[in-house]
A = this chain, B = another copy of it.
Amino acid sequence: MSEDSYNAYSLLLDRTARRVKQYAQQQFKELGFNVTVDQWLVLKHLYENEEMKQNVLAELINKDNPTLTRIIDLLCKKKLTERVLHPSDRRSFIVRLTKEGTKKVESLRPKVRNVRLKAWEGLSGKDFNTFKKILNTIYNNLG
């Protein structure tokens, strides 16, 4: 492998991930979703898994605790989620969707899928498998 190939691949990976996120974000905005991509991620997981502790949620969506704290702060400000005291551990909060949050998820779910589609046009099932395998290999190499 030539001098800089690893660097080049790192950059390619980085810029592609950024563009995927940026495209989704821009579509979210154009379509008036009124949440960011990361906020959506939190909402969706809360919808699918019911309420949960913040640190469990953080693990689930691959964010660190400070980042998640801030995302949830914003979602609470928007009245889409709420924190309730953990029944037996006063260090913890349980995070859950409000009614409004639940409605939001139900209305956005199908639309988000359409937004996400575009990135993957022209790729075969085999491509997807290979892609997944490689990404996981890289991820695990650095774990």
Interface residues of A (CB under 8 A from B): 1, 3-7, 9-21, 23-24, 41, 44, 61-62, 112-113, 116-123, 127-128, 130-132, 134-139, 141-143
Q: Is A16 touching B139 in the complex (CB atoms < 8 A)? A: yes
Among B13, B41, B117, B119, point to the contact of A17 (Cβ < 8 A): B13
Q: CA–CA, A13 to B113, complex, Å?
A: 16
Instruction: Provide a sorted-by-A list of 24 A–B residue pairs whose CB atoms are within 8 angstroms.
Output: A6-B117, A9-B120, A9-B128, A9-B131, A10-B20, A10-B21, A13-B16, A14-B17, A14-B21, A16-B135, A16-B136, A17-B18, A18-B62, A19-B138, A20-B138, A23-B142, A118-B141, A119-B141, A120-B138, A122-B141, A123-B137, A123-B138, A127-B130, A130-B130
Q: Sorted from nearest, which 4 A-B pairs have the closest CB atoms?
A: A17-B17, A6-B116, A23-B142, A15-B62
User: Which residues does chain B contribute within 8 Å of A128, judged by CB atoms?
Assistant: 1, 5, 9
Q: Is B9 touching A13 in the complex (CB atoms < 8 A)? A: no
How many copies of the polypeptide does the oligomer hold?
Answer: 2
Q: CA–CA, A116 to B128, complex, Å?
A: 24
User: Which residues does chain B contribute within 8 Å of A138, judged by CB atoms?
Assistant: 16, 19-20, 119-120, 123
A119-B138, A138-B120, A141-B118 given as contacts; is B6 within 8 A of A14 (CB)?
Answer: no
